[in-house]
Structure 1
Amino acid sequence: MTVPLTVLVAVAALALAGWAGWFVAKDRAVILRQLFGAAVVEGLLVVQGVVAGVLLATGTTTGSPGLFWGYVLASLVILPFAALLAFAERTRWSSVVLLAAAITIVFLQLRLVQVWQT
């Protein structure tokens, strides 16, 4: 897996987390632009999954493929579920959910790098 792409995903997720954190501090609900930001992060995650799939298909190996793909799939489903919850809950807690999801994506990126390098 390419480290620059992983860093890009982590930075984008951190930016989304900061934006959601600001809304938590201001006691505001998630707005549509934040969900578009989450969609951008999700798009980067899809690209990352495709790149990882191509690398594994062309002979690159990872220590634990099942664990690796588990983390990839988990990162792909977290933001859509958070967006659904944020859309349904129109209070400050929608921002908290988006913040938690974005921070989880950052930590999953760190773990993906660790699993890839073993």
Structure 2
Amino acid sequence: MLLTLVLVGALAVGLGTWAGVRAVRDTPVVGNQIPGMIAVEVGLVVQAVVVAVGLGRGASAGDPALLWGYLITELLLLPAAFAWAFVERTRWSSVVLAVASAVVVVLQVRIWQIWQGAG
């Protein structure tokens, strides 16, 4: 579980940094950021599978409902932010993607806390 959390967190930091740099440069999100978003999203899907398997095998989490709420939020957040970013063709599209990536990182920390029972 920790490996997927760290990997997804690192990918989200990379995507957020890339979007943040573009926001500072006053440029919108570009199509070549799609592979970065896909990499984060694939990591989130793998993480959800790891959690499901872990819970199915008897692992306990502090609050399973909250854990799944965070996982589902993560899975929906980046695609929504990316869709918004491609509709909004200003620097704010990069800001939206950077903020969404930062939220994914924060949710990774919360998921780890819940997984450890500190919920």
Q: TM-score range by the shorter chain?
A: over 0.9
TM-score, length-normalised on structure 1? Answer: 0.97
Shift of 1:63: 1.6
Q: Moved runs in structure 1, 4+ residues, more than 2 A? A: none
Q: Is the partner of 1:63 in helix, strand or coil?
A: coil
Pairing of 1:35-50 with structure 2 (within 5 A) = 35-50=34-49
- Gaps (5+ residues) in structure 2? none
Equivalence for 1:74:
73
Partner of 1:7: 6
SS state at 2:60 partner? coil
- Aligned pairs, number: 117
Percentage identity across aligned positions? 45
Counterpart residue identity of residue 49, structure 1: A
* CA apart distance, 1:70: 0.5
Aligned residue identity for 1:87: F
TM-score normalised according to structure 2 size: 0.96
Shift of 1:61: 1.1
Instruction: Tell me the equivalent position of 1:31.
Output: 30
Distance 2:12 2:109 in 1: 12
One-letter amino acid of the structure 1 residue matched with residue 90 of structure 2 = T
Structure 1: unaligned runs, 5 residues or longer: none
RMSD of aligned Cα (Å): 0.7
After TM superposition, give the deviation of residue 36 of structure 1 in Å.
2.1
Q: Which amino acid aligns with 2:10?
A: V
- Give the whole-Å Cα distance in 1 for the aligned partners of 2:80 and 2:10: 20
